[in-house]
């Protein structure tokens, strides 16, 4: 409910006396700069306890007061949004999204001229579902920068977007690192070599943008210089492939230790955040040695460690990661509900939905109860080590007309990852902090984002049920606030290039 503090009648009469009698053209009402969320339970994600019957006062884009209603003055004329019985948290942050990602080769051919629009649509869907900030960690740099500026300028609504561009050293969508190396008979990860070489080269160049596999041939000094030039193009952060992506059966190492150190130094000189991509235990060791701010999917390994020596090395790395405060975006987090789908999927289910059934059946051998238990045990190992967890999901938009993909659908995957982490033993408060404060800290944004505090940007989420009881309650969104503005969720996305519904029940 929205209401205003009453203004005394004397003040109204005095104001009316100043109004001229001649008719003047109607003027639009000035925007209301000061308003407040009143009556809800405020969960600031600072480590302090929740504030019951709280007030969050907003002026422009910033929070100007937070506290109990009984002791927090609300200035006269403030617009009131009544959130009694609701819960107010910081806006959510996903540190690993792909706003231009559909893991089928047809997508890149069909939508080559719409990548910036698709990125805007993805950011709008993210905002609708509670993500006020997202970090795109692999995509076409130029279109993503266009989308970022359209949102920053206010031309388009959307989650705040930070951009990396390419995973440094890796190739584009049609390279051997991605669709060029997929199975010809693949169901969701489909081979892309049938696409004309001119198109493949053009698409790959959009992603690689002077930060692709050619860097692997350079000396450390040369690669450091090349990265400085790349950062001058405008990405917000740097993500480096310490191991390859998609080169099986075990992803090889990509860069030497001196080359990694040179890139790390270039990022530091440019004031840019540095993070790593790893898929093996040895690549994780190399990554930790260079002290990134963030490790992307460090728990996911093409060959999980099993021998005593491997597990000892992993535990020593976990201790080092914790000691140095390196943030970790855990991925491949199992969820009980999804395991049941794989376990119970039947021939009759495939008859009803043959395309979806082909994907589920192709994955079933690797999605047994034992496989899920092993993945959960790995996640629990990281949680027990006390690493600083952030929420990074790999989620992106989908083009439903190109068939199901059963991947991380934009708008729902962050909820699924948090729910899986709670099933693995993380507390709801730990997960809320991971999805807010830690995400901001990992990118050097803690002075303005990540908590409900005076002086911070007013990025807020209002939900109907207590997320500290069950983290899934974050799905019950009542309001999203970004930069001090109440978001019209019903209108989003206003950019509609792709058709997909985050509210569909997984795996559809």
Q: What is the pLDDT of residue 310?
A: 98
- Per-residue pLDDT of the chain in tens (508 residues, 90 and over written 9): 444 444 333 333 233 333 333 333 333 334 458 999 999 999 999 999 999 999 999 999 999 999 999 999 999 999 999 999 999 999 999 999 999 988 789 999 999 999 999 999 999 999 999 999 999 999 999 999 999 999 999 999 999 999 999 999 999 999 999 999 888 778 888 899 999 999 999 999 999 999 999 999 999 999 999 999 999 999 999 999 999 999 989 999 999 999 999 999 999 999 999 999 999 999 999 999 999 999 999 999 999 999 999 999 999 999 999 999 999 999 999 999 999 999 999 999 999 999 999 999 999 999 999 999 999 999 999 999 999 999 999 999 999 999 888 889 999 999 999 999 999 999 999 999 999 999 999 999 999 999 999 999 999 999 999 999 999 999 999 999 999 999 999 999 999 999 999 999 899 8
Q: Are 240 and 216 in contact (CB under 8 A)?
A: no
List all residues 6 or more positions away from 419 whose beta carbon is below 8 Å from its beta carbon.
Answer: 335, 471, 472
| Domain 92-332+372-445 CATH assignment equals 3.40.50.300 | no
In the chain, where the domains are located: 2-85, 92-332+372-445
Q: What is the pLDDT of residue 21?
A: 32
- Cα–Cα dist 264/288, whole Å: 12
479: how many CB neighbours lie within 10 A of its CB?
Answer: 18
Tokens of 425: 């033993």
DSSP string across 115-161: HHHHHHHHHHHHHHTTEEEEEE-SS-HHHHHHHHHHHHTTSS---EE
- Cα–Cα dist 242/256, whole Å: 9
Name the CA radius of gyration of the chain, rounded: 24
Q: What is the pLDDT of residue 32?
A: 52
According to DSSP H, which parts of 345-486 are helical? 347-352, 354-363, 369-384, 413-423, 428-434, 437-442
List all residues 6 or more positions away from 1 whose beta carbon is below 8 Å from its beta carbon.
Answer: 81, 82
The CATH class that applies to domain 2-85 reads: mainly beta
pTM metric for this prediction: 0.93
- Cα–Cα dist 431/474, whole Å: 11
Q: Are 162 and 135 in contact (CB under 8 A)?
A: yes
Would the CA dihedral through 168, 96, 489, 2 be positive or negative? negative
Residue whose entry in the numeric block shows the structure tokens 């955040």: 273
Q: CA 393, 397, 401 angle in degrees (round to 5)? A: 140
């Amino acid at each position: 409910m929205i209401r205003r503090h009453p203004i005394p009648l004397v003040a109204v009469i005095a104001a009316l006396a100043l109004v001229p009698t001649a008719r003047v053209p109607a003027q639009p009402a000035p925007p209301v700069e000061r308003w407040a969320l009143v009556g809800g339970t405020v969960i600031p994600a600072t480590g302090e306890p929740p504030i019951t019957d709280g007030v969050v006062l907003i002026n422009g884009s910033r929070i100007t007061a937070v506290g109990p209603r009984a002791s927090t003055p609300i200035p006269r004329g403030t617009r009131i949004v009544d959130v009694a019985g609701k819960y107010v948290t910081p806006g959510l942050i996903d540190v690993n999204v792909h706003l231009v990602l559909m893991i089928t080769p047809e997508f890149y051919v069909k939508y080559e001229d719409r990548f910036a629009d698709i990125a805007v649509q993805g950011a709008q869907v993210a905002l609708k579902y509670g993500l006020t900030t997202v970090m795109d960690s692999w995509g076409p740099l130029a279109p993503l920068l266009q989308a970022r500026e359209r949102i920053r300028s206010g031309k388009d609504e959307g989650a705040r977007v930070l951009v990396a561009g390419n995973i440094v050293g890796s190739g584009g969508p049609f390279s051997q690192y991605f669709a060029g190396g997929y199975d010809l008979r693949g169901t969701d990860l489909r081979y892309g070599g049938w696409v004309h070489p001119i198109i493949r080269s053009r698409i790959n160049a959009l992603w690689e943008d002077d930060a692709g596999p050619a860097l692997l041939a350079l000396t450390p000094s040369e690669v450091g210089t090349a990265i400085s030039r790349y950062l001058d193009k405008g990405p917000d952060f740097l993500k480096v492939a310490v191991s390859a992506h998609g080169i099986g059966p075990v992803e090889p190492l990509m860069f030497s230790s001196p080359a990694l150190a040179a890139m790390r130094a270039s990022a530091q000189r440019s004031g840019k955040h540095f993070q790593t991509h790893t898929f093996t235990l040895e690549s994780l060791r190399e990554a930790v040695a260079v002290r990134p701010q963030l490790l992307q999917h460090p728990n996911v390994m093409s060959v999980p460690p099993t021998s005593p020596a491997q597990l000892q090395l992993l535990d020593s790395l976990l201790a080092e990661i914790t000691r140095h405060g390196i943030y970790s975006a855990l991925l491949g987090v199992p969820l009980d509900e999804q395991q049941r789908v794989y376990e119970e999927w039947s021939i009759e289910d495939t008859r009803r939905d043959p395309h979806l059934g082909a994907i589920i059946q192709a994955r079933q051998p690797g999605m047994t109860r034992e496989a899920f238990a092993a993945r959960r045990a790995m996640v629990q190992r990281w949680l027990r080590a006390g690493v600083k967890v952030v929420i990074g999901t790999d989620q992106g938009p989908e083009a439903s007309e190109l068939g199901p993909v059963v991947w991380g659908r934009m708008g729902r995957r962050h909820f699924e990852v948090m729910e899986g982490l709670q099933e693995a033993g993380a507390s709801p408060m730990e997960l809320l902090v991971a999805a807010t404060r830690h995400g901001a800290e990992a990118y050097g944004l803690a002075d303005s984002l990540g908590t409900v505090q005076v002086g911070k940007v007013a990025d807020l989420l209002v939900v109907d049920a207590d997320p500290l009881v069950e983290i899934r309650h974050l799905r019950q969104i009542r309001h999203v606030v970004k930069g001090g503005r109440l978001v019209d969720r019903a209108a989003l996305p206003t950019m509609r290039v792709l058709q997909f519904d985050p509210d569909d029940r997984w795996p559809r």
